[in-house]
Every structure is written in structure tokens, then in C-alpha cells.
Structure 1
Amino acid sequence: MNNPKEAAARIKINRLLEQAGWRFFDDDRGAANISLEPGVTLHQQDLDAFGNDFETSSKGFIDFLLLDAKGHPLIVLEAKSEAKHPLVGKEQARRYAKAMKCRFVILSNGNLHYFWDLERGNPEIITAFPTPESVIGYRHVTPEPALIVQETIESDYIVLTQRPGYREEAGWRNAAERDAFVRANKLRFLRRYQIEAVKALQKAVEQGKQRFLFEMATGTGKTLTAAAVIKLFLRSRNVRRVLFLVDRLELEDQAHRQFSALLSADAKTVIYKESRDDWRRADIVVTTVQSLLFNNKYQRLFSPTDFDLVISDEAHRSIGGNARAVFDYFVGYKLGLTATPRDYLKNLDETKVAARDPRQMERRLLLDTYRTFGCENGQPTYRYSLLDGVREGYLINPTVVDARTDVTTQLLSEEGFVAVFTDDNGDDAEESFGQREFEKRFFSENTNQLFCKTFLENGLRDPISGEFGKSIVFAVSQHHATKLTQILNTMADRIYPGRYQSDFAVQVTSQVQNAQQFTINFVNNNLLGTANVLPDYRTSKARVCVTVGMMTTGYDCPDILNLGLFRPVFSPTDFIQIKGRGTRKHDFREQLQDEAAKADVAHPQKTTFKLFDFFANCEYFEDEFDYDEVLKLPRPSAKGGGTDPPPPPGLGYEHMGEDVLESMRVQEVGAEGMKIDRMFFQSFEDSVRRNVEIAAAVQAGEWERVIDYVNREIFDKPDQYYTLEKLRRAADVDRRLSLREILEKVFGFIPGFKSRDELLEEEFAKFVADAPPDEATDIPAIRNYFKAYIISDSVRDAIERRHFQDLATNAYFDSRDFRAVPPKYRTLVPGYVKDYVPLAQFNP
């Protein structure tokens, strides 16, 4: 072999082709569908001689032409050696593809692969080669983005699919009967903001984008909005099939039911696990990310071109970690849906935060989500917040019940609950327990009893039946959920004698059989029966579901009246999701079967819900959760107090003493919302924009005057105490921003802040334009050197002092990296950087 790297690339490419079902020779599956470039003939003896290790011919490196079932050119595969980036062959492949009248190109060096639809846009990274059948089906879709952009989106966009002739029906034409007609036929009209979301996507398509992100608060109808997007793409024939990814099993059935109800007239929706044999006949395939991840099932079951549009529900969860591989496996349009704004974590100092802090993982997930969907500047394609929803009357805020017992007050304190006991050696010992240990290492039966008693005595009642309102309680663990369910049922039996038979509260966790169906029945108001009080009123007999995490993300049950946080929460995302279970509005008259009785209901509308908070979670996020500093959580301390028995072996500490309600404060959240809901409100931007003098100076282009004014009149004032350093942290960029950049962003002169690597790539592009290398293969080594010289003080010092031996132990850029740089560039790069590149902007 002339080049080992070419041989290695060839072996890998051959294997990938065979794994995807492409054939070099005729076999029982059909005729060969791989043709080598014109003038090259491959014989079986080539395989025998080289063991698939063939890569050259008299013409040079061999490329492939992949054929369809009729033997016509389908894909040009441009192969490069491992030493070259596959994109270096892009233009060569384009020319060859056009000559062969091929629409598709694969660019590969054996390790990195791109699939390129010449009619759609840029090459996209793939991790496996598409199958022949999949590409042939993919070819039936001819992209026409203009049809997406031109489609008219009005409030009845979905209704026209549900009931195309609704405008001519008597029930609609009669204004007095219209509301009843809409309810009876379950017609779903788009709200103003949902129309705006779809139009924002259309604008993004017009700009050539293929990735979109909708950041919409819980309860604002993300699934309905997604249905409108799906109809838009299917109707315009820009996609053939849609994959809808969810991150929880219980959401799979929910999404299937919703899409079937909204789009069944135009599109067939299936759940993959229920339609393994005929999913290709469907227009919308719903599945969980987890099921596809198991044993890399997605690679075995699907080809990268099987779906033209992939939608990720609760995007920052369903593409987190390894799940990202599933999402990136497919080519085409990508839409992410999330209720969690990136701003919640934008000031987190990742260099200092403890690894155990859940916010660190959330921050990475959120940042990764925004990058994945092309929103690196932190601005989604469309945003609609909880405060927007409350202000416009679509959502409601909670009434927070902050209740603390004597025990939880101590657990929440800096000292924690300090227990003194006799250890195994007979010596006196003490240990402090914080809120994190509750029901994990610290147990208190009386505290759980008090939680349940307070919850039942103060919860909101159903406005129709007067019984305890439907509720969800969030426990620490499955074991804790079992305890709480038993306590609630025992108390309900005493409060409501004979009404419930241990079916007042139901445990809904993964260990419980049929738990997923329980969540569905609770929504449908038939969990363990219906109409326990009024025969004509349909409401679930079970009143409380006790869960750990099953009913958080995406669970839609609008008649929830009480939420119980019987556990501490440290994750902003979890808090937002839990709180979101109650924010939907509801008219309880919808559950009455007797039409005449509806007129007698005094207060049919849900105007608030109660959020019972036994661990000061709301205070944590409202007051203590400092977005400018990393929160220091309570640590165990060694202070005296307590006379309870020793901890049970292997379990922790069980508090056997009494517990009393220390305090209970009820506070209704106003229209301004909670602090966590106001994080994206940019007070600095607003104050600067409102300033007449600053606005006039900006309009005149007098940036020095603007900067001087902000430094003198805006910064370091006691009302808001803005500082440049705080604004830099708020921007969440991995480099040092100038005040000029920040102000340019505020006034719209730049769309967002470039990351450090984006700036480095820009500077490198300028450098290469001035000093192009003789060989394209030298570019990676030069780029590596260029970036290292700018970023690393130690590399720069070694080069400037000519102490090249210091590079031998440099972890960022070592001696081998330096030797790979062409000699003339070893001096060209430092000279260029000193003259043209301001280093300060790259500092963290």
C-alpha cells in the first residue's frame, strides 16, 4: 500500500458501505449497487489479494458511485485518506455529482462522514452511511423552502385539518352555539403566540436555517405548535416523514393521542414500538430516546435519511448526554421544544461550581441544546415565557404555601439537624444532617405525618364537588412515596369515613405496575373510578398521585389544584417543571354531564393553584439563589444538641421525637411572577435603551461618549449595581467582552456574542487568506499552532523565548505539534498575531 492512512480509510469506508446494505458484487439480495469511478474495474481477486485493503488505481485514489435499484447513479462517495478532512473534497465531489446527475454526496475519510443533499443546503455530519432503500425514499422529497415560507398560517390552521368545512356548519355560523360547537368537536385554534412561533420558523427557513428552537413555558401548547409545524412541512412536501422524540415513556402515548386528534385527516401517527413492521407507512413516528439508545438500536433500525424532520420534545433533556447521538444521527430539519430558558443558568461560574451541584449538568445540557439548534447567542427561534402567558391570560401563577416544621427548620439551617447518640464503641457521638439527607439518611415519621396533615387541611377543594382537589405530591424516593401514600390514605379514611378504600392517594412511580397508565387515567379523570361525590361530575376518585419524577416533564393535567413539594429541590429546571404542572387554566364545568347544572356553579374557573413548599424551595430560588455567585449549600457541621437514639445500622438516623409546625406563610404570586420566571428580563438592556442621552450618542456613532457615560452614570449605582464584570458573566461567553461589544448587542448592531473559538476561526481565516499554505494538508497543524499561540500563555512564552524544550511537557501544544508546523509558519504566526490580533478579547 502506498499510504497506510489511505488504506485504513478504505477499509473503514468499505465496511460502512457493507453495513448499510451496499454491494460490491451481485448476491442473493440483488445486483451490485457500488460502481467505482469510470475507468476503474474491481474484481474479486482484488478483495482476495488485499483483504478489503485496496485504495488506489492507475488514476489515483478510488471513489465510489452508488446506484439505485435500476442501476442509475444515486450517490457520489468522495473518499479521502484519514490524514485529510473529508470536506476538502467537497467541490471535486460537487463537479462529479453534477456530471453524473446525482443529487446526493457522501464525503468521508473513514472516521468523519458528511451527507450532502445538493438541493437542500450544506453537508451534514453522519455517523453511519444511509441504506439504499432509505435514500431512494428520501429522493422522493424535493426541497422547496419557498413553499414553507409562503404558507399562510392563521388561527384555524389545525382546525382546517380537523374539520375542513367547519365554517359552513350551523354550529359555527350561529354565534350563540359556537363555543359549544368548538368544545364538542375538540377543535384546536392556534393562539396568537403559537402563530408567531410558526412564522418565526418560516422566517428562519427563509434565511437558510435548518435548525430551530422554541422556548415556550409549560402549559402554552408546545405540542399543538409542533403539530402546526409538522403540517407545514408535510403539506409543503418538504418532508416525507417526521420523528418525534420524547424523553419519558408516559409522554409517548400522550404525543401519539394528540397528533392523532389534530392531524389524522392528513397524516398517520404511530408509536414505533407498536408499529415495528409498518412504521415506514406512517407520516409521524413517536418514540422515546431511551428506547433508541438501548444497544444502539437507532443505528440498527433506522438509516440517517429515514426522517426529514426530527422534533425533540423537552429538548435539553432528550438530547442530553448520549441521547445527543440519536438526534444527530438523522439528517434534515431539526426542531427543539423546551420550557426551560437558558437564562436560568447563564451566570453559573462553571470553573468554581461543585461537580455535585445539579446546576452544572443542567448548564451543560442547556448550552448544548442552544448550540445544537443553532442558537449559540442564547436567542431561540421563538420565546414565550410564563410571565407572557400569565399577562395575556393563558396561564396562572401559584399561591405558595411555605410551611416549615421544627425538624425541617433545623434541617434547613446552616448547622443542620444535630443528633447526639452513642456509637458502636459506647462513646458519645454527634452528626449533623442537612436537607439533602431527608429520607435518605435522616428519617422522621412524625415529620411526614405533619406534612400530610398540613397538606390535607389547607389544600384547595374542587369547586364543583367540594372534595379535595386533584393533587400531585413529589417525594424524595420511591420508598418515601410509599410512606406518604400510606399516610395520606390513613388520614383520608379518618377525615372522610367510608368514602375511600385506600384509593384516595395512589403511588405513581416506576416500581408500581401500570404506573404509566395511572398517569393517563388521572388526566382522563378515571383513576380508580370516577364521580365519587356527584354522579354527573366526572372527576378521578383518586385525589392525590404521589410520585418522584414520572409526572414532571410534559405532563398535562389542567385540573390540578394542589402541588406538594415534600422534598428539597436544587435544580432550577426541576423546580420550573414541577411548578408548571399547575399553571394551566381550567373550566371545571367541562366535567359536568348535566348541562343545566353548569349554570349553578359559582366559581367554575381555576384562578390559582397551591404550591405547598415544606423545604423552602421557593425561598431558595426567590431570595437565596444568587445568579451572580455560585450558591454555597449548607454543609454538615459539628454542634451539639439532641438526645435521640442512635442511627439504625446502614440506614442513617431516625428521629423518633415529636415534630410541630414551626411556621406557615401563604403568599399569592402576583403578575410580576417569581424571580426564576424573570431571569431573562434584561434590566440592564432596558435601562440603557431608555436613556435618551445614550440613545442619541449611539445614533450619532459616538461610542467613546457612550462608554464614558455608562462608566460614570450607570455602573456601580446602588439601585441595580451594574458592573462590567457582572455583565460579562451574564453574557455567558467563554472570553472577555468589551463594553463596546455589550452595547452593540444591546442596540442591535450585532446579533449576539461570538464565542472564543468563533473569533479564533475568524482570525485564522484572515491569516490563511494573507499567507495561504502550499499544501492543504498543512492547514490542521497551522490552525492548531495559531490557536495555541493566542490562547496559551505558556506556549507563547516558550515560542517568544525560543525555549522550545518547554513544549515537551505542555499539555495544550507539545513538541510533536510544533514539529508538524511548516518551518516558515513557526515565525509567520507570532509576527501576525502581534501585529493584528488583540489578545485581551480571548481571555476568559
Structure 2
Amino acid sequence: MVTADKKSLSEQDIRTRYITPAIRNGGWNFATQVREEVNITRGQVLVQGAKARRGTRKFADYVLYYKPNLPLAVVEAKDNNHDIGDGMQQALEYAAMLDAPFVFSSNGDGFLIHDRTHTSAKIERELGLDEFPSPAILWERYCAWKGLDADQKRLITQDYYVDSSGKVPRYYQIAAINRMVEAIAKGQDRILLVMATGTGKTYTAFQIIWRLWKAGTKKRILFLADRNILVDQTRTNDFKPFGTAMTKIQNRSVDKSYEVYLALYQAVTGEEEWKDIYRQFSPDFFDLVVVDECHRGSAAEDSAWREVLDYFASATQIGMTATPKETKYISNIHYFGEPVYTYSLKQGIEDGFLAPFRVIRVDLDKDLEGWRPEPGQRDRYGNEIEDREFNLTDYDRSLVLERRTEVVAGRVAAFLRATNPYDKTIVFCENINHAERMRQGLVNALPEFVAKSHRYVMRITGDSVDGKAELDNFIMPESRYPVIATTSRLLGTGVDVQTCKLIVIDRRIASMTEFKQIIGRGTRINEDFGKNYFTIMDFRRATEHFSDPEWDGPPLPDEEFEPGHVPTTRDTEQDRPKGKRYVVHDVEVGVVAERVQYYGADGRLITESLKDYTRRAVAKQYASLDEFLTSWTGAERKMAVVQELEDRGVLFEALAEEVGGEFDPFDLICHVAFDRPPLSRRERAERVKKASYFARYGEQARAVLDAILEKYADEGLADVESMEVLRVDPISRIGTPVEIVNGIFGGKERYLAAIRRLETCLYGAEC
């Protein structure tokens, strides 16, 4: 084929005619070793007001695997109007995510290869279409680069587990599994894995253990978790494939005939009978010990955890955590070493595997101003109140302002009524007493829902038998009740509430580790139940942690806890305030300010005005008003421009609320970013009606276009460009979509042309 013909081919044609045959001729099996159009990410969830949509997914044109668990290469294709290396930078990004060392870019003329294994030679060079390297060549280079011997190769090529549904690990899970297995293959015996809450640490741990167990490298494994429910969930869900080879340690008499042991590690912390249990095993019984949530103090040298880890010192030990702890007193990095792999909350949200959030910050007058009693003032129970100023650090500990609890409960109730009263909600309180008072406050604030079920609001704390009995129901997406859980610490970590849509913070959170764990309760996505994002309602200024550089950074200094005071997740009498506590019932408390903040495209909470934020976001895309107008006018679909700006972080619905008025995205951008006076949607629609635009159409066509114009004025641009608008009353009364498009407009092309003319009239100087 001549060059001129190749230039006219689409990217897909270039792939089909040139790139795919070249890869196949290199010896790659497309059934087992090559995947095309591989979705690496799911597309970030973009929150717009109370709505959410998915951003653009990242996908690779080709991913080449030596085996399913070992991605070796990424190939990015472009049409022949591009240079051979134009896809390289994009491919390098994808290869870095996949941990693939070989990267190719092609326009159909040949290949540009980027070879990370050639550190002392030419990293990038061109290859002809007939020179694409075989699997054997790339695998040999990979093994030489990694320095793998025969035994290490056998372990590294051990497949992961695939269930009957065909579920396979996500890209970052594969990378984490491979890094961990490789580290163990090379003899590393203390290994740390950092993965954000909700990204599948337990599933990843299972796949690591499975490969080591199947390869015969590790024959007896101990898995320690921090909650009984997590041990049970692990056993029945992710670890189920181990079948009869697995057991849970539940009593003092242990059966040593199993290969995989699961245990609750709370029993480890100082219980004498546990020592009898673990000492029933010889120190070399286990080949592998996996420690879930290892930031809990397992690495503190004087902790009971360390006693167990030291007892099984000959075993390879893996620590897993969402929040690595690096303090003056505790260092899991000192014990386990630097993380072999890290997958952060920010990355998880950006990839679309974790839910983003918005923050409603509520400031109360007594929180900002403090409160001081009158001389000799007594509380509800006749106690004379200490004469000093009380502030946010005292409330619900040494001082209870009952009206404050009522205001918080009332604000939460108002939010749920305005959104969905059956959205799963966790309210974090200072202590058990506060959690009980908050339960009462919410019962009184939402009486119509409590009347339908007394389990609508439950206090789920460590001392409440009834509350803890409802924990499974609260966690299960299919279970309506309980809807609201008040707690202090019990739900702060480890509990997987997939459908939690509202997290209320009414407790002081000085520790970044604790803050991350609490936020992690909402980060899971469950699209089957409409959970794409969540809301944080903050009454204690806890969300100021989002402005801390360490929020999504490396392990952080945290000196909240003194030596010997390792934070516990158990919600017990320790959470009851010590000393005298005054209860005041007649002090009014009011809301001073309330503002909504959103999660920005840069992974930070937007704290500036949305107008300023939008100006900066738009300026990165369009240097001038003329540039924006040219792009808008030239776009066949205006919503494509809107969605691109949304992908870059512009929050149109929230911006519209701040600006005020019924403006569509075009006017919001022109006004906010370029200071041009805006027109409302209604004003634009009326301008079209006054023009001669409709004169060229027949009566029925005019009726359709007039109805679409009304939809635009009422609801916005998306309705103009969607064919679904034809199914909505009053347009649906004119005819079916097929009847309207074909019978009234004479075909789809003519209908779309009419819509484009309508948009030209809407946004042009004249029709």
C-alpha cells in the first residue's frame, strides 16, 4: 500500500493492518499473551453538586504478558499522520502503572522501543515492523535485569488464583503482588505493603499467599487481623479457596494439621492464655506471618505484638497497612523496612477505584467563641461549674452542652432529609457517653423514621451488646437497618461499610493516622447501590488535616501518644471521660457558618472560592476568551467541551450555586474565567424564539425544537444534545424517537444538523 493510502487510515485500521500482524509475527499468542484495549483505570468519579459521573478511563492499546500475572510490555498505537514516537509518553505512563519494563510506540511504519532493562545501553531505538521481539527475548532480558535464578523464576511465574467468575486482580494489585513475591523470592524476610483503605488489601494478601503456597515456597501461614468480623469475612470471602487447608484459631487447643491459620490479634495484646496458644506452635512452625493493619503498634518494641513476631522470627513477615506509622515511639518502617509497594488514597480516587468526597464544614458559635459559666452557675445535676473558659477540646469530655448535641443532630437530620434519609451514616463521637447522647438526639430529630424501626439509629460501641449485634446488618448493603450508627472508636477502622454515604465527625482527631482511617470508612464504591461518592460533615475542624502536606504523603510524624500508650481500636470503658463532667442544658448553641468544599482534580480539598479555582483550571486549557470560543464553536458536541473541563476539575453545578442564576456551562466559563457578562438559559432561549430560526421548519419540527429549547431553559445543555430527550414528555406525545427523527426531520443527519443550528443560534451573535 502506498504512503498516501496509509495516511488516510484510521488508528484502528493501522492497528489491524500493521501493528497486530507485527506483534503476532514476533511469536506472541493473542489468545493467552496479548490483551487489547486494556482498561487500566475505571475513570475518576467526578462529583457535581449532588450528582456524579465517571471521567475518562486510561486504557492501553496492547498489553503483552509473559504469563497472566506478568505484564512485560505496553504498545501504544497512533495513526500514520503521527510520528513513530508520538505515543511513547502516554505508553510510558501506562507501563509505569503496570510495572512493565518494555514500552513500544507505533504509527504503522515501525516501532520505537523504550527498554528499561538496558540501563547502560541505548534505552530508546527504532525497530522495523519485522523486528518486534518475541516473548522469549523479552523474558530473557527481564530475568537478566532482575537477576533471577531458576528457583526464583519458578516462584515468580506461579499464577494467581482466578475464580469461576473470571475475576482478576486490578493493575495495582498485580503490581503489589509481584513486588511482594519477588522480594520474598530474593530472600527479604520483613516486608511492608501500603494500600489505601478500600483498595483490596485482604484480596491482595490472599493472592500473595496463594502464589507462595501453590509454589511450595511457604507451607504454613499465619494471618492476623484486628477484628473478629474481619477474620470471619476473610475466611468466608477472599481466603475461601484455601478450603479445608485453612482454620481459624478460636480456643486454647490448636490443631496443627492445617496449613493456613487465621487469628484475631487483639488476643495477642497481653492475654496470658494467648501465650499458651501461640507457644503450642514451635518457633519455626510458620513459614509466613501476615499482619493486617500493622500500624496498630505491632512494631513497638515493648508491645505484645512484637513478642509474637519475635517468637516466630524465622518466618517471613509481611506487614499491611493503609496508614504507615512513623513516630518517636513506633516505627513499622523500622521493623518491616520501606514499603515494597504503595497505593495511596489519592491515586485510588484518581483511578476511579475509590470514592471522592465533599466536605460540609459546620462552625458553631460556642465552638468558635468558647463558653464561660456565670459565677456560681450550677449544671443540670446541681454541681457548681468550674470558673474558666471551656472550648472545643472540653466539649463532651469535661463539659456537655446538651443544646450543642441537639444542634448537631438537627443538622445531620436536615441533611439526610434533603438527600436520602436511608443513606448509611456513621457519626463519630468523643466517647461512649457522647455516642449515646447523640443517638438520643438523632432519634428525636428523625422521629418519623424511628417510628418505622427502632433500629433506624443505633449506638454501636464496644460496651453495647445490642449495638454490636447489629454491626453485620449495618455493614450489609442489602440490609436497610440500622441506617445511622453513632460510635466513638469501634467503627473507626477495619469495618467495611461499602454503602456509607455520610461520615459525621464530632470528635477531636489529632492523629493523622486516625483521620485517614475514619475517612477510609467512606472511600469504597458500590455502584449497584448508588454509592459513587460520600459526604463528610465536620463539626470539629478535623478536615483541616486535608491541608496538611502529609495528608496523602509519606509516613508522618505523629507524637500524639506517649510511650506505652499505643492507641487501641477497642471501644471500651477507656473511652469514658475521666474526672468531673458538667452537664449544661440551658445554654443556646447556634450555627455561625457552613460551607461546602469539594475534592479537586489535584487531589486536594478546594479551600479557595470556586470562582478562583475555576479561573485557574480554565487557564490551563484556554489562554484567552477567543481560544475558548473557537473551541466551543468548532465542537460538534458542546457537552464534549464541558466534560473535558469537568475532567480537569471544573465543578459546574457547585459553581452555578456560588455564582447564582440559571447559567449554563458556556456562560459560567465566559463570566467567571473571562469576566464577560452572562446570559441565563432562559434569556438565551427567548433570544432564539425571537429570531427567524424556526421559520425554515415545518409545524411538527418547530414543535419538537421548541420543546427541546424549553428543556434547555429549564434543565440545561445536556438535554439538547441527548437523543433521550425525544422520549420525554411533551416531546414523546409528538411521536416515537424513530418517528420524529425519520418522519419529521427526514433522518438522523438532518435531525442532528437542526440541533447544531439550534446551538449556533443559542451561542452565536445572531441566528
Q: TM-score, normalised by structure 2?
A: 0.52
- Preserved contact between residue 245 and residue 289 of structure 1 (Cα < 8 Å): no
Cα drift, residue 445 of structure 1: 1.0
Q: What residue number does 2:305 align with?
A: 323
* Distance in 1 between residues matched to 2:468 and 2:523, nearest whole Å: 22
> What amino acid maps onto 2:499 in structure 1?
D
* Distance in 2 between residues matched to 1:497 and 1:436, nearest whole Å: 31
Are 1:447 and 2:447 counterparts?
no
Are 1:335 and 2:338 counterparts?
no
Q: Taking structure 1 as reference, are residues 632 and 471 closer, same or farther at Cα in structure 2, changes over 3 Å only?
A: closer
CA distances 1:188-216 after superposition (whole Å, capped 9, x unpaired) = 42001011011111332343211211011
Q: What residue number does 1:380 align with?
A: 339
Q: What residue number does 2:695 align with?
A: none
> What amino acid maps onto 1:499 in structure 2?
K
Cα drift, residue 151 of structure 1: 3.8
- Preserved contact between residue 292 and residue 319 of structure 2 (Cα < 8 Å): yes
- Preserved contact between residue 316 and residue 338 of structure 1 (Cα < 8 Å): yes
Q: What residue number does 2:161 align with?
A: 158
CA distances 1:417-447 after superposition (whole Å, capped 9, x unpaired) = 3333328999997212232222110101111
SS of corresponding position for 1:227: helix
> What amino acid maps onto 2:236 in structure 1?
R
* Distance in 1 between residues matched to 2:485 and 2:366, nearest whole Å: 25
Q: Taking structure 1 as reference, are residues 519 and 147 closer, same or farther at Cα in structure 2, changes over 3 Å only?
A: farther
- Preserved contact between residue 211 and residue 333 of structure 1 (Cα < 8 Å): yes
- Preserved contact between residue 519 and residue 551 of structure 1 (Cα < 8 Å): no
Cα drift, residue 452 of structure 1: 1.0
Count of matched residue positions in the alignment of Structure 1 and Structure 2: 431
- Preserved contact between residue 598 and residue 605 of structure 2 (Cα < 8 Å): no
Matches within 5 A, 1:544-563: 544-563=484-503
Are 1:364 and 2:321 counterparts?
no
Matches within 5 A, 1:331-480: 331-342=314-325, 362-365=327-330, 367=331, 369-373=332-336, 375=337, 379-410=338-369, 416-422=370-376, 430-459=387-416, 466-480=420-434
SS of corresponding position for 1:293: coil
* Distance in 2 between residues matched to 1:461 and 1:257, nearest whole Å: 38
Q: Taking structure 1 as reference, are residues 282 and 276 closer, same or farther at Cα in structure 2, changes over 3 Å only?
A: farther
- Preserved contact between residue 401 and residue 613 of structure 1 (Cα < 8 Å): yes
* Distance in 2 between residues matched to 1:312 and 1:446, nearest whole Å: 44
Are 1:216 and 2:195 counterparts?
yes
- Preserved contact between residue 511 and residue 560 of structure 2 (Cα < 8 Å): no
* Distance in 2 between residues matched to 1:293 and 1:493, nearest whole Å: 44
Residue from 456, 459, 466 that aligns with 1:507: 459
Greater shift after overlay, 290-299 or 228-237? 290-299
* Distance in 2 between residues matched to 1:318 and 1:341, nearest whole Å: 10
> What amino acid maps onto 1:329 in structure 2?
Y
* Distance in 1 between residues matched to 2:526 and 2:466, nearest whole Å: 27
> What amino acid maps onto 1:618 in structure 2?
T
Cα drift, residue 341 of structure 1: 3.9
- Preserved contact between residue 158 and residue 190 of structure 1 (Cα < 8 Å): no
Q: What residue number does 2:221 align with?
A: 242
Cα drift, residue 617 of structure 1: 0.7
SS of corresponding position for 2:318: strand
SS of corresponding position for 1:665: strand
Cα drift, residue 488 of structure 1: 1.3
Are 1:616 and 2:599 counterparts?
no
Q: Taking structure 1 as reference, are residues 153 and 399 closer, same or farther at Cα in structure 2, changes over 3 Å only?
A: farther
Residue from 522, 542, 551 that aligns with 2:482: 542
Q: What residue number does 1:287 align with?
A: 264
Cα drift, residue 387 of structure 1: 1.1
SS of corresponding position for 1:382: strand
Q: Taking structure 1 as reference, are residues 225 and 517 closer, same or farther at Cα in structure 2, changes over 3 Å only?
A: farther
Are 1:661 and 2:618 counterparts?
no
Cα drift, residue 226 of structure 1: 0.2
SS of corresponding position for 2:519: helix
* Distance in 2 between residues matched to 1:561 and 1:664, nearest whole Å: 19
Are 1:670 and 2:600 counterparts?
yes
* Distance in 1 between residues matched to 2:207 and 2:175, nearest whole Å: 11
* Distance in 2 between residues matched to 1:448 and 1:666, nearest whole Å: 21
Cα drift, residue 451 of structure 1: 0.6
- Preserved contact between residue 410 and residue 445 of structure 2 (Cα < 8 Å): yes
SS of corresponding position for 1:432: coil
* Distance in 2 between residues matched to 1:434 and 1:250, nearest whole Å: 37
CA distances 1:286-325 after superposition (whole Å, capped 9, x unpaired) = 3224346301623543321221110110111151433221
Cα drift, residue 260 of structure 1: 3.8
Q: What residue number does 1:314 align with?
A: 293
Q: Taking structure 1 as reference, are residues 631 and 193 closer, same or farther at Cα in structure 2, changes over 3 Å only?
A: closer
Q: What residue number does 2:181 align with?
A: 202
Cα drift, residue 515 of structure 1: 4.4
> What amino acid maps onto 1:397 in structure 2?
P
- Preserved contact between residue 323 and residue 513 of structure 2 (Cα < 8 Å): yes
SS of corresponding position for 1:404: strand
* Distance in 2 between residues matched to 1:572 and 1:338, nearest whole Å: 14
* Distance in 2 between residues matched to 1:383 and 1:632, nearest whole Å: 25
Q: Taking structure 1 as reference, are residues 569 and 655 closer, same or farther at Cα in structure 2, changes over 3 Å only?
A: farther
* Distance in 1 between residues matched to 2:251 and 2:439, nearest whole Å: 33
SS of corresponding position for 1:400: strand
Q: Taking structure 1 as reference, are residues 674 and 612 closer, same or farther at Cα in structure 2, changes over 3 Å only?
A: same
SS of corresponding position for 1:327: helix
- Preserved contact between residue 426 and residue 503 of structure 2 (Cα < 8 Å): yes
Matches within 5 A, 1:740-755: none
Q: Taking structure 1 as reference, are residues 475 and 204 closer, same or farther at Cα in structure 2, changes over 3 Å only?
A: same
Which runs of 5 or more residues in structure 1 are unaligned? Answer: 1-143, 164-181, 346-361, 411-415, 526-537, 590-603, 634-647, 677-844
CA distances 1:696-740 after superposition (whole Å, capped 9, x unpaired) = xxxxxxxxxxxxxxxxxxxxxxxxxxxxxxxxxxxxxxxxxxxxx
- Preserved contact between residue 469 and residue 543 of structure 1 (Cα < 8 Å): yes
Q: Taking structure 1 as reference, are residues 207 and 308 closer, same or farther at Cα in structure 2, changes over 3 Å only?
A: closer
- Preserved contact between residue 397 and residue 669 of structure 1 (Cα < 8 Å): yes
> What amino acid maps onto 1:665 in structure 2?
R
SS of corresponding position for 1:238: coil
SS of corresponding position for 1:447: helix
Q: Taking structure 1 as reference, are residues 239 and 443 closer, same or farther at Cα in structure 2, changes over 3 Å only?
A: same
RMSD: 3.5
* Distance in 2 between residues matched to 1:335 and 1:630, nearest whole Å: 23
CA distances 1:332-354 after superposition (whole Å, capped 9, x unpaired) = 11000010145xx6xxxxxxxxx
CA distances 1:597-633 after superposition (whole Å, capped 9, x unpaired) = xxxxxxx4x2310111001111255269999999999
